Amino acid sequence: MAPRVHDCVGALLVSEGRILLGRRSDDCDWLAGAWDVFGGHVEAGESGEQALHRELQEELGIAPMEMHYLGVLAGDAPEPWRLRLYRVVRWQGAPTNLAEHAELRWCTLAEAQDRLRGAHRDFPGLLATAMASASAPP
């Protein structure tokens, strides 16, 4: 039997040339103390978009109004996982640290790439895509 894959979604919140990241609390079960995007596990019966709406409400108290699928990252450690990433450029509410994070920080592209580079080799490219797409004219 194939191992269970943790199916997750994540949001790259982009505003005024910056990306919002959170540093997870040291007592988190998953990625304790690491810088991360916002999101989490997809629950049974949820689409990726539904899961992302729920997770952003739980973690930041916001409702995404405009989001675009960017791509997927996957890995095997510490257990098999898949992370579908979305660029979120418009939302209702002000991002507030409600759960899981020791701190929130608006980062430049270079800062975000430095903080997430160790999590997956493809993170820097997806961050650059998110930033370029957010600043492109409609």
**pLDDT grade for 138, boundaries at 50, 70 and 90:** very low
CA neighbor of 31 nearest in space, from 39, 121, 54: 39
The whole-number average pLDDT for the span 82-89 is: 95
Domains along the chain with CATH numbers: 6-135 (3.90.79.10)
Q: What's this model's pTM, rounded to 2 decimal places?
A: 0.88
pLDDT tens digits, 45-77? 999 999 999 999 999 999 999 999 999 999 887
Torsion of CA 22, 26, 31, 35, to 10 degrees: 30
Q: What is the DSSP letter of 78?
A: S
The answer to whether the beta carbons of residues 124 and 113 sit under 8 Å apart is yes
Mean pLDDT of the chain: 89
- At 118, phi and psi to the nearest 5? -70, -20
pLDDT of 31 strictly over 70: no
Cα gap 83→73, rounded to integer Å: 5
